[in-house]
């Protein structure tokens, strides 16, 4: 089982990036080939074994990762599985790669594995980093309906069958878009509590574009993937949830601007999931209206 890794960086965390690369190089088993993509930024000095790509402009998270995928051949075809790791993360367990190999080798229908993210200082896992509704026990592994963007492993056959990440999303919800397409194609997604990535605890709202892009991409996600009757239910639920969370006036204004933008701008090709996929998501505990 050949493993590769894609690391996206803005070049502003050289020490953390080097620590991550060292933790990847220290993994047991066959060496993992690593591609580091500078997303509109120059890269710091990196180990000679690491392949580097410097993009002239910031293509966003999905666009940058897609470039990294293609660096391993069409759809990542030169390897069997690709790891996607945040540049300020770190793999504390040297056996993580061997666990990934064994999981994909044992289950031909397994398409995506989501890691457990823990804060290196407190050891805690944030609620938003457990990709399921029942998140009280982050150490419990289970089948899920989405995954974490900077701490995962994807079988490259998934990209070859359903395509890469939606580049126009730029930031937010690109993982769920890929997850829904993969599930509709028959692949399974697993959250593994025993695969850990250390990553400092942060708030997603730290990004200035957070509220606008979360709302815009939520509309795009629904328009691209959901059967027509479910679109208003899904978006209505998220509108209500957003109001209950009581964001700041500025944040709410940006959210509604993004929500409107999601309706009036192109979202890419529409490929609504089959109703049996809706039922499958429901059986997994997260129907596509929540």
Same domain as 142, residue 56? yes
Query: Last residue of a domain, which of 180, 202, 224?
Result: 202
Query: Could you identify the residue written with the tokens 């708030």?
Result: 203
pLDDT for the residue 209 = 84
DSSP 90: B
Same domain as 149, residue 95? yes
Same domain as 211, residue 194? no
Over 70: is that where the pLDDT of 178 sits? yes
Report the C-alpha gap between 28 and 16 in whole angstroms. Answer: 21
Over 60: is that where the pLDDT of 206 sits? no
Same domain as 234, residue 155? no
Same domain as 228, residue 156? no
- Find the mean pLDDT for residues 140-166: 98
Report the C-alpha gap between 226 and 3 in whole angstroms. Answer: 32
pLDDT for the residue 247 = 86
Residue 283 neighbours by CB distance under 10 Å: 10
pTM flag (> 0.85): yes
Enclosing domain of residue 220: 205-272
Query: Last residue of a domain, which of 202, 232, 250?
Result: 202
Q: Band of the pLDDT at 290, cuts 50, 70, 90?
A: confident
Same domain as 116, residue 99? yes
Same domain as 234, residue 142? no
What is the domain-level CATH number for residue 44?
Answer: 3.90.550.10
Helices (H), the chain: 14-25, 60-70, 96-106, 156-162, 174-184, 210-225, 231-245, 249-264, 275-283
pLDDT for the residue 43 = 96
- Count: domains in the chain: 2
pLDDT for the residue 60 = 96
- Residue 50 maps to a domain: yes
Over 90: is that where the pLDDT of 77 sits? yes
Q: What is the pLDDT of residues 250-267, one digit of tens each?
A: 999 999 999 999 999 999
């Amino acid at each position: 089982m050949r493993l590769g890794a894609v690391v996206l960086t803005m070049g502003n965390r050289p020490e953390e990036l080097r620590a991550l690369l060292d933790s990847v190089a220290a993994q047991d088993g066959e060496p993992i080939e690593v591609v580091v993509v500078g997303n509109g930024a120059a890269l710091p000095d990196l180990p000679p074994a690491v392949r580097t790509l410097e993009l002239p402009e910031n293509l966003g998270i999905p666009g940058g990762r897609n470039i990294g995928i293609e660096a391993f051949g069409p759809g990542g075809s030169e390897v069997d599985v690709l790891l996607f790791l945040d540049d300020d993360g770190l793999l504390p367990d040297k056996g993580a790669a061997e666990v990934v190999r064994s999981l994909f080798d044992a289950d031909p229908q397994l398409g995506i594995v989501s890691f457990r993210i823990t804060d290196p200082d407190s050891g805690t896992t944030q609620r938003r980093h457990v990709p399921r509704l029942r998140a009280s026990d982050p150490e419990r592994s289970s089948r899920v309906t989405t995954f974490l963007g900077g701490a995962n492993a994807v079988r490259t056959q998934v990209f070859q069958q359903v395509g890469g990440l939606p580049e126009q999303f730029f930031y937010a919800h690109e993982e769920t878009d890929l997850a829904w397409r993969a599930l509709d194609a028959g692949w399974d997604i697993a959250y593994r509590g025993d695969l850990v990535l250390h990553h400092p605890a942060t708030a997603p709202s730290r990004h200035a574009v957070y509220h606008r892009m979360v709302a815009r991409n939520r509309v795009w996600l629904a328009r691209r993937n959901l059967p027509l009757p479910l679109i208003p239910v899904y978006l209505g639920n998220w509108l209500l949830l957003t109001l209950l969370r009581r964001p700041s006036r500025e944040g709410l204004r940006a959210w509604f601007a993004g929500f409107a933008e999601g309706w009036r701008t192109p979202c890419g090709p529409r490929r609504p999931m089959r109703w049996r996929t809706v039922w499958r998501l429901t059986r997994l505990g997260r129907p596509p209206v929540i």
